[in-house]
Amino acid sequence: MLRASRKTTLFLALACGLALGQDPSISLKISFPVPGPYRVGQNIPVELCFTSSVEDKYVVSTRMYDRGGRLEIEKFEVTPPGRDPLQRYYESGAFFGGGLSSGPRSLDSEPYCFRRDLNEWVTFDKPGSYSLAVSSSRVSPQLRPHTEQINVRSNTLQFEVVAAAPEWQAQQLASAVAVLDSQDTKEEEKRSALRTLRFLQTREALQELVRRATLPERTSDFDTTAALHAYPDPEAAIEILVARLAAPNSSITGMMIWSWARLIFLAKYPPPPPYPAQDKNLQAAWQEAAKRRSDAFTSILEECYQKAAAFLPAKQGAARAETVQTFFFPQQSNLKLPAISPSDFASIFPALSEDKQAMLLAHSWDRMRSDAMLGPLRRIAAAGALQNRDLRAAALRRLYELDPVGGEEAILAEIRSPHRHRNGFVTPDSLTILRSGTLPQLDDLLAARLADPNSHTRNLDAVLLARYATRAPLDRVKEAYAQAREPWDCEAEDGLFTYLLRADKEYGVSLLKTKASPCLARSLEAVRDLGRFQEVEPRFVAGMNDKNWHKSRMAAETLARYGGDTAKKALFERLKAFHAQWKDREAEFTLHPKSPEDVREASSFHFGLVQALGTAEGWILNEEEVDTVEQLSLGPHRQNVTSWRRPGAVDIHPQLHSDRFSAQVAMRYECRSLDALVRKLKQFPPGTRFRVHYSIHRLSEVKPLVAEAASLAGVVLDESTP
C-alpha cells in the first residue's frame, strides 16, 4: 500500500503523542550568533537555548537529524513568509524518519543550547525586513519522555536581508570549493561548505554541487538533490544536471537519475491532497490516485534511465565503471532498463574502488555471479598491495564458489603467507570454507607460528588450527599455550580451545571449566555440540552474581545461548533473587537522565536476564513459565514479557546476508544458522502452525533452505507470497 505524504505522516506521528501547552517554567530563547544584516543566499545560523526553572521535571530531546533530511521537531515561523526550500523535495514522496541521539537531557536552569541553520527551513529570495520565532516540541515530562510533548515557543527576533553582490557570491563559492578540495579540513567543515553551496542558490554553486555528486569520490547526495529541488528555476536545474551527466568524466548515479526524473515529474504533476485519515470513504480514491502518480513517476524514471544510457559510450575510466554499475544495479528492480551483461560488468569491476568492490562481492553477488568474474577475482586474490582485507576475503570466497580448485589454491596460498591490510589480516571465516577435512600439510606451519612469541597472526592461526589441524601437533600446541609469556586474547583462546575439544576432548573440557568466558563463541558452541556444556555451566551460573552488572548480564546471555534445562533453572533462580532484592525500588526502573548509576546498571542486567529466559536457543517457555517471568519482571520490562504472548501461527522471517543464513522465529528467537532453526522448530509443541514470510531478496536460495529445515524438524509450513 502506498504511503501518505511526508507532511501527513508527520501529522499522524505527532498525533500519536499528547501535545501539552507550554509550562511557564520552561523557556526557549533564540538568538543570532552571527549579527546581521544578512545577504540573500547567506547561511543564517540560529542558536536555541532551553531552560527550566524547575529541576527534575522535564527533559529535552537531543536529536539533531532525521534520516529523511531535516528534522521537523522545530517550526521556524518567519514573517513575512519566505520560501520553503525543501517543499518540492518532500512534496510527493514518502520518507523514513527517525534518527539516533544521545538520549534525552534533563532540563534545568543551565541552558541546553544548539544551533540550526535557518536556511534549512526558509529561503529568502528578496531583501527585506523579517521577524523570526521558533516553536518546538523537543521538551517532554521527565517521566513520560516518549508519550507527551510540550509545545514551547520562543522570543521573537527582527532581522534584515539585503541583496547579494555578485562579488560576494563568487567569494563564497571560492571559499567553499577551497574547503572541499583541501586535504586538511575536517568532515564537519566539509559538510558546512556543502551547505554553503546549497544555500547560496546561484547557478555556479549548483553546477559545483552537481559536479561533485558525479565524481567517483563524490560527497553528499542529499545536499545536491536538495539543492536541485530548491533551485528557483526547475528547468535550469534540469539543464545543469543533464549537461553534467553527459560529460565523459562524470559518473551517472542512481540518485542523480532519480533527481532528474523527480524534477520532471514535479513540473507535470501538482502535489497530492493530504491523506484523508479521518474519512474512510475517501481513502480508496486517494490510494488509487497515488497509484497512478507512482506509475507515472516510474514511467518518467525509466525514460530518464534510457536517456542516460545514451551517455554511456562516451564515459571513461572510473566514471564508466560507476555508470555501468548504476545500470547493472538500478535503484528499483522493476524498471525496464538497457541490458548490461555480466561480462560487461566484469570488465569494469577492477576500476571501482576497493571498498565498493568489497561491498558488491559481499552483498550483491547473486546479481554479479558469472564466469566473467573469474579474472577479476583471481587478480584480487593474488594482489600483494590491497588496502581492504574485506575485498580479499570476499574475492577468495567467490573464487572458491566459481572455481573450487583454483579457489582452494588461492586460499591455501593466503593461509601460508597472510597479507596484512590497513584493517588487519583476512578474517578466518573466508579461509575456513574449504570442503576438505583436516589438512596435515598445514600442521607444522600453524604450530610453528603459534609458538612464535613475536607472531602477528596468532589469532588467525588459532582459528585455522581449529579447522584444519590433525592431532599430530597437539603436544606442540599445548606447550605453546603453556609457555606463552603473555596471556592469549579471546579470539586466539577460542580457536585453541575449539581445536583441543576435537583433538583432546577431556583436556579441552577441563580448560573450559576454569577459563570459559562469553567471548569464546566457537568453543562454547563446540562443547555444547559435544553434549558437555553442563560441565561448563557452573562458571556462568556463578558469573551471574558478579559485582560487575555487565559481566553478570553476559553470563546470563551465555547460559541462554548454549545451555539447556539446568541453565534455564539457574536463570529463573537468579531472576527470583533479583526480584526479591529490587522489588521495593521498582518505581526507579522507569529511567530518566538523573537516574542513579546503580539503578541504570541493575536495570540493564534485569533486561538482559528477562530476555535471556524468553529468547534462549535451548528452550521455549510454556504459558506458566511466561506468567512467572512476567510476575518477576520489574517496571517497563514487564510489558516486554506481555508481548511474548502471540496467538495464532508462529511467524518465521528467514534471510541470507553475505551467505549467512539466519531466521527470526516468533518475533523474538534469533536463529543464526540453519541448524539453529531446526533446533528451535523442534522445541515447539506438536501441531504448532508456522507461517513463513519471505523477502524477495535471494528468494530462490532461501526457500530451499527453509524447506530443508522444516523437513529435518518434522513440521509443516504455511508460506506467504513475497
pLDDT digits (tens, 9 = 90+) for 567-590: 999 999 999 999 999 999 998 888
* Beta pairing class for 650-657 and 58-60: unpaired
Model confidence at 6, in pLDDT bands (50, 70, 90)? very low
pLDDT digits (tens, 9 = 90+) for 592-603: 777 899 999 999
Q: Degrees (nearest 5) of the Cα angle 354, 360, 364? A: 170
pLDDT of residue 334: 75
pLDDT digits (tens, 9 = 90+) for 216-255: 776 668 899 999 999 999 999 999 999 999 999 999 999 9
The x, y and z cell numbers of residue 56, run together, are 527534575
pLDDT of residue 657: 79
Give the SS3 label for residue 280.
helix
Contact at 8 Å (CB) between 514 and 490? no
Is the pLDDT confidence value at 720 over 80? Answer: no
Between these two residues, 364 and 468, which has the higher pLDDT value? 468
The x, y and z cell numbers of residue 3, run together, are 504511503
**Separation CA 472–CA 504 (nearest Å):** 11
Rg (alpha carbons) of the chain, rounded to whole number? 30
Give the SS3 label for residue 306.
helix
What are the angstrom distances between the C-alpha of 419 and each of 376, 403, 426, 509? 18, 22, 7, 34
pLDDT digits (tens, 9 = 90+) for 498-541: 999 999 999 999 999 999 999 999 999 999 999 999 999 999 99
Instruction: Identify any residues that bridge with 653 across adjacent strands, giving them in sequence order.
Output: 664
pLDDT digits (tens, 9 = 90+) for 88-127: 888 745 444 444 556 788 888 999 999 999 999 999 999 9
Q: Which CATH architecture has domain 6-162?
A: Sandwich (2.60)
pLDDT of residue 104: 81
What are the angstrom distances between the C-alpha of 78 and each of 252, 461, 633? 38, 65, 50
Is the pLDDT confidence value at 32 over 70? Answer: yes
**Separation CA 533–CA 568 (nearest Å):** 13
Q: Which residues contact 141 (CB under 8 A, 6 or more apart)?
A: 20, 57, 58, 59, 148, 150
Model confidence at 12, in pLDDT bands (50, 70, 90)? very low
Instruction: Identify any residues that bridge with 421 across adjacent strands, giving them in sequence order.
Output: 424
Model confidence at 19, in pLDDT bands (50, 70, 90)? very low
Extents of the domains making up the chain: 6-162, 166-322, 341-419, 437-531, 533-645, 650-719
Between these two residues, 148 and 642, which has the higher pLDDT value? 642
pTM of the predicted structure, to 2 decimals: 0.80
**Separation CA 286–CA 275 (nearest Å):** 7
